[in-house]
A and B are shown apart, each in its own frame.
Chain A
Amino acid sequence: MSYIVEMLHITKDFPGIRANDDITLQIEERSIHALLGENGAGKSTLMSILFGLYQPDSGSIRVRGKEVKISDPNVATSLGIGMVHQHFKLVHNFTVTENIILGIEPRKGPVIDIRAAEQKVEEISKLYGLAVDPRAKIEEISVGMQQRVEILKMLYRDAEILIFDEPTAVLTPQEIHDLMQIMRRLVAEGKTILLITHKLKEIKEVADVCTVLRRGKLVSTVPVAETDEEKMAEMMVGRQVSFHVDKGPARPANELLRIENLNVKNVKGVLGVKNLSLSVRAGEILGLCGIEGNGQTELVYAITGLTKVESGRIFLKDKDITHLSIKERIDLGLGHIPEDRQKYGLVLDFTLGENFIIHNYYEKPFADHGILRKKAILENAQRLIREFDVRSGQGAMTPARAMSGGNQQKAILAREIDRSPEVFLVVQPTRGLDVGAIEYIHKRIIEERDKNKAILLVSLELDEIMDVSDRIAVIYNGEIVGIVDAAATNENELGLMMSGALRKTGDASSHRAHETVRV
């Protein structure tokens, strides 16, 4: 058995923390090796060491049996190690080929030989089944395609060992499926893949071996075939994790949110939401699922008041809120966990305490005659931190920026739930979070349901929709193509509806031919 990469007894310290503690990682050639761990477990540090971004304090690295010192990413590249970063590093108004050759442009005399480059990109793309158009501009292709360009970038540089950093975080279910295929193809063609992730299902599906890290230490390395998701989760979190979301039956009562024949334009000026009607009742969770970009964002913006609607009406507790301001809607009892927590949910440069009062900073007890009351703000923060187990270095005074993603999300959740909104709009609440945090957030959302709140859950994660919702509405191309009972449906049926191939409205005449959503 030959190892292509061996990281032996790697230790790396940062001020105040040992990020990697005596970790040994051995990767077989032509395999998919998953690196699993919660946020902050040391996965990224370890991979950054392998890629030459950090130097280990002790330990050694061997590539193809030879001890190497990877002092910077260029050394890593020359050793055949390539990395697909979670956030792509692409120039948006360049073509695919221009991005790929950036830094190693082939020349023909004094000019770049773009033809030759395009040809080579095309060849590689064909070999691995990537189906990328070398002449397309980055801004014109989908996120999934952009990721393939990142993969092509490595292949163009003859990388043999490919590191994927949380590659599925930004992808739709279909794109995830395609990526898995590509990974298998890459291995079949002789590459070795290191997959950083905290999604157990993907590991189970695609990886051969899995190494689990927890708090900087190696927990175990196991063959994936001999383990299951429960066991991996337990190793990762350090305790038993229930995958099954525990919840009693819904007891839906009166209707709290009603949307009637809503039409909303998207940023391109065409209708993103078309004649959409929905209703959510007190005591139920309505899950809205669909492939990204099918009108979810426009719908959410219309409900919260960020976008004007073209026509149609929105009722909150039987009051028409279609033309009310954001503020008025909030005051009427609309709570919102936004999709992008760092952009919309938090002011990252504010402290945790300041973030907690963002809706009612001008009210008693937080302010008196326009003057902020520090003591009340602090007490409020301490209470929420305790109640929602928000972990932060300096308590209420911690800048939001310094907190982990999971704790940022918990902070937003704490703030919104504490206001006790009757209609709760929850968008992508667990994106990028680890198992422990996901479990907690789902639990709190269901608790809100049981307190007779109406919850609209918008998510791209099919599992999340199926586990948490009571009813599921599927959105496709700006329209609701079906509403089903969560207990009576399955992934297959939802997938068909999400792609527009199936309608469940009972109206046979509205059946559509299958449409390709993305190219």
Chain B
Amino acid sequence: MTARKEKIVLPLIAVLLGFVLGSLIVTLTGRSPLSMFAAIIKGFSGIDIINRQPINTRYIGEFIIQAMPIILTGLSFAFASRTGLFSIGAEGQLMIGSISATAVALLVEAPKVVHLPLVLLAGILGGALWGAIPGILKARYNVHEVVVTIMMNYIALHFNNFVILHIFGSVDRVKTAPFPETALLKSPFLQSITRQSRLNWGIIPVILAVVIFSFIINKTTFGYSLRAVGYNKEAARFAGMKVSRNIVASMAIAGAFAGLAGAVITVGTFNFGRVIQAAEGYGFDGIAVALVGGNEAMGILLAGLLFGGLKAAQPLMQSQGIPREIAGIIQASIVLFVAMKFGIKMVLDRFERKQVPTTEGDRV
């Protein structure tokens, strides 16, 4: 099997095995796995195969809403990962992106063409700054990024809540005053074609982010040097690359993706700044998405959509009498099977060898 084929086939098998395991568990709890699949199909497409109702596009909109932030946090994790860093910081960078967007949304008055881009930019910059800090600590003092990013997630959480409660003033100790229209990603058009779902123009920056990720990593000299550092720091240093600078840049850009996710949630899904009770799991979902997506832009987009759909299907499963946790179990087992990819590959290779008689060939 070629490396390329492997990258596509192995995650697909993992997904399949995840669903098999999910079905098994549903069967064990005494329900029909068919109703689970019906719920999942409805979550993804709005097609109700049980009651044979017409397509409800609202479901499509809602599932994309779920997918958008985790695609971005997936890109965030993957970007750091390509430089050989293990960043757990997307969650916190997302919160900082969110509070930065909130600040610009509330404090700046401008027409929409200026205000909205400024809001998004604030999110990106906030996230980038928050990401750069562990990058600098790593590059300069060799402090492990995992420790720093985890701790900075807590700081971000409480900083966010402090700013909202004590600086902007909350309406009900839960949220800020609503943002002006000019700061919102809201799209009556997208809402109208998805039966008043919360779908918004946030999809455009998300798609752009996917394209930019792929472009930077694969096409630019900057991406080349990031990958070189990620694969082999020593060889990169020997070749005269500035390893420390690359580490900082990579963490900052990873932060930018997560910060954008914060902005998209804040001015897209909601229209106010929120007090966050506890980490909402966008960061960890992003890690899962990046792992399943093989740290590639396209893979992350697809994996993000899959996990978004599974999230959206949770309430639907519950209405079918299936515990909503099953969706979470499927999601977790997919990640588990992806992590087991070497085992899967071994089984596949054995299978392949039995099928095709080996021929003599020249070795290079």
The residues of A with any CB-CB pair to B shorter than 8 Å are 13-18, 40, 215, 304, 306, 325-327, 329-331, 336, 338, 343-350, 354, 358-359, 361-362, 367, 370-372, 391-393, 399, 403-404, 407
Q: How far is the CB of A25 from chain B (nearest CB, A)?
A: 20
Enumerate chain B interface residues (CB-CB to A < 8 A): 3, 219-222, 224-225, 227-228, 231-232, 234-242, 352-353, 356, 358-364
CB distance from A294 to the nearest CB of B (A): 22
What's the minimum C-beta distance from B42 to chain A, rounded to whole angstroms? 42
A356–B359 Cα distance when bound, in Å, is 33
Complex contact B221–A326 (CB within 8 A): no
Question: Could you say which residues of chain B place their CB within 8 Å of the CB of A354?
Answer: 224
Q: Given contacts A16-B359, A344-B235, could you give 18 more A-B pairs where the C-beta distance is less than 8 Å?
A: A16-B363, A18-B360, A40-B363, A326-B237, A338-B238, A343-B234, A347-B227, A347-B231, A348-B232, A350-B228, A361-B225, A362-B225, A370-B221, A372-B220, A372-B221, A372-B224, A399-B3, A407-B364
Given A347-B232, A391-B364, are A336 and B238 neighbors across the interface (CB < 8 Å)?
yes
| Minimum Cβ distance to chain B for residue A247 (Å) | 29
Query: In the complex, A359→B241 CA distance in Å?
Result: 8
Given known contacts A16-B359, A344-B238, A346-B235, A361 and B364 CB-to-CB distance under 8 angstroms? no
- On whether the beta carbons of B234 and A370 are closer than 8 Å, the reply is no
Contact B232 A371 (CB under 8 A): no
In whole angstroms, how far apart are the Cα atoms of A90 and B232 in the complex? 25
- Indicate which residue in A14, A331, A349, A407 contacts B231 across the interface (CB closer than 8 Å): A349
Contact among B221, B234, B239 for A371, CB-based, below 8 A: B221
B237 nearest CB across to chain A (Å): 7
Q: What would 19 A/B residue contacts be, using CB atoms closer than 8 Å? A: A15-B353, A15-B358, A16-B359, A17-B358, A40-B363, A326-B238, A343-B235, A344-B238, A348-B231, A350-B228, A354-B224, A358-B228, A358-B236, A359-B239, A370-B220, A370-B222, A372-B220, A372-B221, A407-B364
Question: How far is the CB of B202 from the nearest CB of chain A, in Å?
Answer: 28
- Contact A349 B240, CB 8 Å, known A17-B360, A17-B361, A361-B224: no
Cβ of A81 to closest chain B Cβ, rounded Å = 26
Q: B231 and A350: CB pair below 8 A? A: yes
Chain A residue, CB-CB nearest to B230 = A349
Of B231, B241, B363, the residue contacting A17 (CB under 8 A) is B363
Chain B nearest Cβ from A463, distance in angstroms: 27
In the bound complex, CA of A354 to CA of B236 (Å):
12
Nearest chain B residue, comparing its CB with the CB of A13:
B358
Across the interface, which residues of B come within 8 angstroms of A345, CB to CB?
A: 235, 238
Q: Quote the shortest CB–CB distance from A60 to chain B (angstroms).
A: 21
B127 to chain A, nearest CB (A): 23
C-alpha gap A331/B364 in the complex (Å): 34
Chain A residue with Cβ nearest B225 = A361
Across the interface, do B228 and A347 meet the contact criterion of CB distance under 8 Å? Answer: yes
Measured between beta carbons, the chain A residues less than 8 angstroms from B236 are: 347, 358
B221-A367 in contact (CB<8A): yes
Q: What residue in chain B is nearest A377 (Cβ atoms)? A: B224
Chain B residue contacts of A215, Cβ below 8 A: 363
The chain B residue sitting closest to A305, CB to CB, is: B240
CB < 8 Å: which of A17, A347, A370, A407 contacts B235? A347
Cα separation A391 to B363 with both chains bound (whole Å): 10
Whether B220 contacts A14 by the Cβ 8 Å rule is no
Min C-beta distance of B352 to chain A, whole Å: 8
Q: Given A367-B221, A371-B221, A372-B221, check contact A359 B228 (CB 8 Å).
A: no
List chain B residues, Cβ under 8 A from A326: 237-238, 240
How far, in angstroms, from A326 to B239 measured CA to CA in the complex? 8
Report B-chain residues with C-beta under 8 Å of the C-beta of A330: 239-240
Q: With A and B bound together, what is the CA distance between A16 and B360 in angstroms? A: 6
Q: Is the CB of B353 within 8 A of A306?
A: no
Q: Verify A343–B219 contact, CB threshold 8 A.
A: no
Decide yes or no: A350 and B227 within 8 Å by CB, A306-B238, A370-B221 being known contacts: yes
A349 touching B238, Cβ below 8 Å? no
Of B220, B227, B231, B240, the residue contacting A327 (CB under 8 A) is B240
Which residues of B have CB within 8 Å of A304?
Answer: 238
Are B363 and A361 within 8 A (Cβ)? Answer: no
Distance, CA A249 to CA B364, complexed state (A): 36
